[in-house]
């Protein structure tokens, strides 16, 4: 019986509900030491002296001189050191590592770091250090703007956002077989593998990275695990003992990556009838102290900056700059939530300027199949921007409520948005991901480097393989993501695990079926021994992309969605309370509807936090509220009722028609909520829309 499209039991449910699932902090090894990171307390400066005025017996101490390979976190650029040699570029930058078998002894050790402070830059608008800039040009924006009836301008800002996975970053490094094995909470085992190879100077086969059960990632465990893994590995190699390095909440919030803050400016020309004529967009992102993933975050942000709209003349100038704050990095949505927030609030203001209904204005301009995006990509038959818009307006009773709420303390607003699945442009071709299937006693085993971080990787992959092979779901097993035994399926990011890796698995299954004939793979295994089929990513036909001009097919395909937010304002406290949320999201095909609904509901809740609550307060380059006491994420009482509608317009690019689902849900809530606040007569152009910002807007608006 086919299982794709059904809610089969999660492969990992039993372990998770009984508390027997093993997260990294639940593991211990004989003779294991604990570790601590000594960090900078200033945002910029030079180290003059490092003193360790304590009895070092029993302690392992590591600094940059103990790095056998290169002192660099291998990623896009290698500008970030694993341990500061001399120049400090942000608060909480790692300088010295300590290990000891007794945690209390670790905390007692006092390390003195004498520094010469230098002037730091915190305002991205003042920074002259450009980490990446790019331009997307379609048509002739200047000429088109010169002849349009109406021009609307605006500037929109978003702040940092902390991923706040409930399990902090952590790893255990174990010296083994003349090399090192790292067990950790992570999304990308092969990123960590590469980083260790470069830092340790070891050949690939002496490094093994194993993903342990991971208590949430959301992008926050994409690149940072490379840092913490290398730190633990250095201590383990020096002490010749297993070393556990698990951050507490404060350290995790202070030192690890966050969502890039952004400032986006729009200048848009429209006809009086509401047709978009020209869009001139400037995107600035604050990358923090090192390059990390800023170029690709910026790239995705810029490509999504003109939204799911057709417009003949578009210019997007985007740049990411350095400041003296901890590096910003991957977070669900990866640049797109920032730029689509700006666009969707701007679209609301344009509709307002024209005196036009906001849904009608979007309907006029939404992409239809055959239209082209800002990069000139012709969207295919699976472009359903109009359908999701119409369905969301109907489901939420948008127009009736807009009238009914007018003049009350309630407001309703919507946002139309899209999200490209997989790596941007030629990224998937360069990655050349691989996946494999091996026959086993039970049936078949999936061999992928894709991480289960809660989204349901193991379950969803097993469903795809079961149906592609025509065997029961229970006969599909999943190997642990262990770099020594699975192929590199690329990172678990970019909403690519279903569409891209699932697609490769589907091809593996088809070939395996051809090889084993009508036999059940378990029967074939018994008769002939193990059979392994490995396949590599193949780019879809007809996809073209030019990295230099940013023209072409930025993604194989896009998912489409429309959110409607209903909010209520407390007239005494200016607190905005979301009361109901409608999310209509077309993700091609829901391989497992419960998992998909979970992604949409969870991503929406994170988006609501982004819109209203989650404010990272930076003081002198450091997060001043690095605690869950005062960095607030939505609780049960902050999360409204939700009406989630899954639309399935299949794409021929993904398995069974599926597209990416993980990230898109976080793109829409912030603009939908801010547009609902706008319906209350409050002009908000910066998130989070805290009571302080609402009060300020109320003073201006009244």
Partner 1 sequence: MRLRVNGREMEVDAPPMTRLLDVLRIHCELPGTKEGCGEGECGACTVLLDGEPVCACLVPAAHAESAEVTTIEGLGGEHPLQRAFAEHGAAQCGICTPGMIMAALALPPSPTLDDVRVALAGNICRCTGYHAIYRAILRA
Give whichever of 531 and 594 is closer to partner 1, judged by the CB atom.
594
CB of 382 to partner 1, least distance (A): 26
Least spacing, CB of residue 664 vs partner 1, in Å: 14
Query: What whole-number distance in Å separates Cα of residue 300 and Cα of residue 332?
Result: 12
Q: Would you tell me how many other CB atoms lie within 10 Å of the CB of residue 47?
A: 16
The Cα–Cα gap between 204 and 450 comes to 19
Q: State the nearest-atom distance from the C-beta of 10 to partner 1, in Å.
A: 7
CB of 334 to partner 1, least distance (A): 17
Give the Å distances, CA to CA, from 552 to 136, 420, 599.
Answer: 10, 13, 29
Helix (H) or strand (E) holding 437: strand 434-439
Residue 35 CB burial class (10 angstroms; 0-12, 13-18, ≥19): buried
342-351 burial, b for 16+ CB within 10 Å, e for fewer? bbbbbbbbbb
Distance CA 187, CA 214 (A): 8
Task: Report the residue number, 103 or 404, with the smaller CB distance to partner 1.
Answer: 103
Minimum distance, C-beta of residue 355 to partner 1, in the bound complex (Å): 36
Copy the structure tokens of residue 649: 């317009």
Q: In the complex, what is the shortest distance from the CB of residue 163 to partner 1, in angstroms, rounded to a whole number?
A: 8
Q: How far is the CB of 107 from partner 1 (least distance, A)?
A: 13
State in angstroms the smallest separation of the CB of 625 from partner 1.
12
Q: How far is the CB of 7 from partner 1 (least distance, A)?
A: 8
CA distances from 614 to 221, 259, 566, 665 (A): 19, 11, 19, 17
* Closer CB to partner 1, 154 or 168, in the complex: 168
Instruction: Select 18 or 177, whichever has its Cβ closest to partner 1.
Output: 18
Q: Which residues bind partner 1 (CB under 8 A)?
A: 7, 9-10, 12-23, 25-26, 163-168, 213-218, 248-249, 453-456, 594-595, 597-598, 601-606, 627-629, 633-637, 639, 642
CA distances in angstroms from 363 to 187, 310, 390, 575, listed in the order given: 38, 11, 8, 31
> By C-beta, is 20 or 549 nearer to partner 1?
20
Burial of 31 (0-12, 13-18, 19+ CB in 10 A): exposed
Nearer to partner 1, 17 or 695 (CB): 17
Minimum distance of partner 1 from residue 316's CB (angstroms): 31
Q: For residues 386-406, b (16+ Cβ closer than 10 Å) or e, as one string? A: bbbbbbbbeebebeebbeebe
Phi and psi torsions of 684, nearest 5°: -110, 130
Q: Which is nearer to partner 1, 264 or 666 (CB)?
A: 666
Measured from the CB atom, the residue of 181 and 606 that comes closer to partner 1 is 606
- Per DSSP, what are the bridge partners of residue 561? 417, 585
Collapsed DSSP state (helix, strand, coil) of residue 40? coil
Report how far Cα 49 is from the mean position of its chain's Cα atoms: 38
Question: Which structure tokens are listed for 581?
Answer: 């949320």
For partner 1, the closer CB: 21 or 356: 21
CB of 606 to partner 1, least distance (A): 7
CB 214 to partner 1: min, Å: 6
Can you list the positions of beta strands (E) in 149-206?
150-158, 170-176, 179-184
Q: Which H/E stretch holds residue 375?
A: none
Which residue's CB is nearer to partner 1, number 29 or number 64? 29
Q: Rounded CA gap, 321 and 302, in Å?
A: 14
The C-alpha angle 482, 488, 494, rounded to 5 degrees, equals 110
What's the gap between Cα 295 and its chain centre? 14
Q: How far is the CB of 613 from partner 1 (least distance, A)?
A: 12
User: Residue 504: exposed, middle, or buried by beta-carbon count in 10 A (0-12, 13-18, 19+)?
Assistant: buried
């Amino acid at each position: 019986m086919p299982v794709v499209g059904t809610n089969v039991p999660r492969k990992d449910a039993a372990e998770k509900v009984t508390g027997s699932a093993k997260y990294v902090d639940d593991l211990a090894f004989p003779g294991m030491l604990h570790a601590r990171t000594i960090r900078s307390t200033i945002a910029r400066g030079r180290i003059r002296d490092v003193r360790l005025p304590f009895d070092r017996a029993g302690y392992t101490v590591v600094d940059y001189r103990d790095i056998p390979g290169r002192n660099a976190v291998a990623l896009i650029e290698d500008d970030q050191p694993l341990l500061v040699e001399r120049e400090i570029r942000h608060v909480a930058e790692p300088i010295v590592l300590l290990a000891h078998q007794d945690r209390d002894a670790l905390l007692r050790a006092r390390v003195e770091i004498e520094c010469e402070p230098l002037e730091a830059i915190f305002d991205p608008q003042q920074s002259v250090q450009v980490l990446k800039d790019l331009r997307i040009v379609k048509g002739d924006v200047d000429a088109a703007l010169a002849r349009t009836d109406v021009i609307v301008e605006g500037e929109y800002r978003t702040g940092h956002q902390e991923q706040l996975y409930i399990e902090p970053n952590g790893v255990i490094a174990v010296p083994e077989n003349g090399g090192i094995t790292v067990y950790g909470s992570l999304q990308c085992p092969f990123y960590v593998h590469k980083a260790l190879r470069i830092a340790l100077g070891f050949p690939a086969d002496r490094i093994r990275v194993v993903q342990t059960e991971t208590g949430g990632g959301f992008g926050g465990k994409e690149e940072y695990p490379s840092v913490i893994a290398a730190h633990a590995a250095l201590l383990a190699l020096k002490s010749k003992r297993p070393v556990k390095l698990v951050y507490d909440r404060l350290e995790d919030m202070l030192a690890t990556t966050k969502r890039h803050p952004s400032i986006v400016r729009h200048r848009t020309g429209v006809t009086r009838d509401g047709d978009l004529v020209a869009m001139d967009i400037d995107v600035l992102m604050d990358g923090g102290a090192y390059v990390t993933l800023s170029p690709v975050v910026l790239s995705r942000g810029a490509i999504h900056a003109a939204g799911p709209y057709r417009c003949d003349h578009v210019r997007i100038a985007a740049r990411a700059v350095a400041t003296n704050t901890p590096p910003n990095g991957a977070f669900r949505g990866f640049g797109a939530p920032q730029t689509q927030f700006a666009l969707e609030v701007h679209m609301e203001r344009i509709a307002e300027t024209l005196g036009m209904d906001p849904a009608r204005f979007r309907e006029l301009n939404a992409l239809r199949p055959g239209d082209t995006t800002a990069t000139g990509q012709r969207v295919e038959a699976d472009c359903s921007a109009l359908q999701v818009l119409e369905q969301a307006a109907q489901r939420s009773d948008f127009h009736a409520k807009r009238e009914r709420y007018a003049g009350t303390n309630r407001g309703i607003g919507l946002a139309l948005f899209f999200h490209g699945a997989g790596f941007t442009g030629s990224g998937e071709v360069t990655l050349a991901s691989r996946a494999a299937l091996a026959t086993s006693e039970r049936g078949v085993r999936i061999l992928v480097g894709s991480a289960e971080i809660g989204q349901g990787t193991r379950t969803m992959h097993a469903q795809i393989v079961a149906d592609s092979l025509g065997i029961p779901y229970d006969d599909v097993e999943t190997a642990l993501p262990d770099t020594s035994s699975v192929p590199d399926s690329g990172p678990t990011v970019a909403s690519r695990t279903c569409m891209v890796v699932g697609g490769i698995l589907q091809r593996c299954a088809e070939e395996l079926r051809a090889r084993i004939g009508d036999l059940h793979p378990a029967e074939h295994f018994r008769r002939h021994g193990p059979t392994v089929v490995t396949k590599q990513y193949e780019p879809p036909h007809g996809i073209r992309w030019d990295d230099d001009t940013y023209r072409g097919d930025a993604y194989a395909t896009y998912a489409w969605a429309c959110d409607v937010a209903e909010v209520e304002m407390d007239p005494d406290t200016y607190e905005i309370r979301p009361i109901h949320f409608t999310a209509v999201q077309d993700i091609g095909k829901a391989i497992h509807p419960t998992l998909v609904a979970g992604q949409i509901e969870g991503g929406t809740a994170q988006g609501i936090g982004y819109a209203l609550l989650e404010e990272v307060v930076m003081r002198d380059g450091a997060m001043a509220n690095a605690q869950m006491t005062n960095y607030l994420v939505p609780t049960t009482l902050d999360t409204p009722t939700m009406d989630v509608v899954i639309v399935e317009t299949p794409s021929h690019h993904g398995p069974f028609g599926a597209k990416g689902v993980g990230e898109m849900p976080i793109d829409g809530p912030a603009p939908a909520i801010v547009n609902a606040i706008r319906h209350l007569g409050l002009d908000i152009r910066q998130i989070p829309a805290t009571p302080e910002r609402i009060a300020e807007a109320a003073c201006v608006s009244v």
